[in-house]
Amino acid sequence: MAVATERLAELVSAESPEAIVGEILDRARTALAAYENGDQARVDEAVTALAWSVYKPEHARELAELAVRDTGLGTVESKIIKNTRKTFGTLRDLMRVRTVGVIEEDPARGLVKYGKPVGVVAAVCPSTNPAATPVNKAMMALKGGNAVVIAPSPAGYQTSARTVELMREELKKAGFPEDLVQILPAPVSKASTQALMAGADLAVVTGSQDNVKRAMASGTVAIGVGAGNVPVIVDSSADLDDAAEKITASKIFDNSTSCSSENAIILLDDIYDAAIAALERQGGHRASADEKQKILGGLWVGGKLNREVIARDMAVVADRLGLSEAARDARFVMVEDDRPGRDRPLSDEKLSLVVTVYRARDFDHAKQLVRDILEVKGKGHSCGIHTADPDRARALAAETDVVRVLVNQAHTFGNGGSFNNALPFTLSMGGGTWAKNSISENLNYRHFINITHLVTTIPEDKPSEAALFGGYWAKYGQ
């Protein structure tokens, strides 16, 4: 290991991204050749080792504290929950499926399916989750019998590096090659990340949409996920206090670093004031006209979100933007606006304890507002509704181009999988072709395996022409 580290140090000093990445990929392929990835039990032990390396209480806290120091984003307690809950939930999902060897048999159809590795996975990870996302992707990669190389955000490098170190230590303890999990050495650059994506067998990208676009152009099979900008409707039939409690818990979690955090709340006209009051009871502050202008003037700088404000505590947000003492003492700020649009920054993703509130004339208008917001950003990703009317939830799902519509849930906790919904646990949510993504579901183990189909003959399954064309002939003739 020392020789390999010295060799990488020499390559880094020579500033050759291709040489650095080539060395890492060679080590990954050597480790992959030694991985007992034809044995599902051993594969599952490797996945469990990775999960335990981060789920272990002292490690979960260490990584959470390091992430906040490293990036300045979010809160320690939220990141502890994220490190443990996401890891535990993902482990639950992965332990319930087969991914190597025979993974499915269907004698009636004459099919046997074999799961096989894709190879070396390049896992590009964001600064918002510098521990949880690397372990999440590593678990899925190794579950498929693969090796993985983490390409972290430079802003979260120390946390991601420590996460990889812990994963490697646990793999070694369980008798696996440590190089099944590696990380690009510092300083991480666009060039080294691009070289990794180009040299790997699969690139899986979460975070920067620039990275997603570059992955798609790398020549490697790539999975990218879209930007979030979640709008949520509070319907006339909703339990307003329950909705307010869930929206608040979701909005304030990790200071809104999640792509699934509510960015807009759409309130039906007939319950508007009552819903605002319920949100205020949960600690929301209704911005004044003056405060709205200060937010517009300070949350964005040169057209980009202000890093001094995003994912910060409410006291910091208030101080940086010059908001009132009441705002400083609040849990989040509600800013009312009359319409979304590309000329309205408040309809964009905010990554902060600021949420935009819209008044909808009726339910049809509410659905239109959701669609208009998603046209600004977030199309394909997600939206939500709080309602007692399942028909309205179905109508929203039928008429809105998103992959996920959550009903009566705290969006941040439900969108990436939950113990009380059927979505798989992940930190990477595909947005389908609406978001120019190749997947329209939550990233999961199926995206990390190839499948060989063994096909044998079955009794002929060939219907008559009349069975297939009869209805058409009867209606339109032959």
Three-class SS of residue 52?
helix
CA distance linking residue 392 with residue 257, whole number of Å = 29
Buried b (16+ CB within 10 A) or exposed e, 315-337: ebbbeebebbeebbebebbbbbb
- Cα-based angle 284, 290, 293 (whole degrees, multiple of 5): 90
**Measuring CA to CA, which residue among 384, 359, 176, 139 is closest to residue 263?**
384
Beta-carbon contacts of 216 under 8 Å, excluding residues fewer than 6 positions away, are: 222, 224, 436
Tell me the pairing of strands 300-301 and 284-286: unpaired
DSSP annotation string for 377-388 = TTTEEEEEEE-S
- 31, 131, 259, 276: the catalytic one is 259
CA distance linking residue 269 with residue 262, whole number of Å = 19
Residue 471 burial class via C-beta count within 10 angstroms: exposed 0-12, middle 13-18, buried 19 and up: exposed
Three-class SS of residue 313?
coil
Is 193 within 8 Å of 341 (Cβ atoms)?
A: no
Would residue 259 show up in a list of annotated catalytic residues for this protein? yes
Q: End-to-end alpha-carbon separation of the chain, Å?
A: 74
CA distance linking residue 134 with residue 59, whole number of Å = 14
Q: Which residues are catalytic?
A: 259
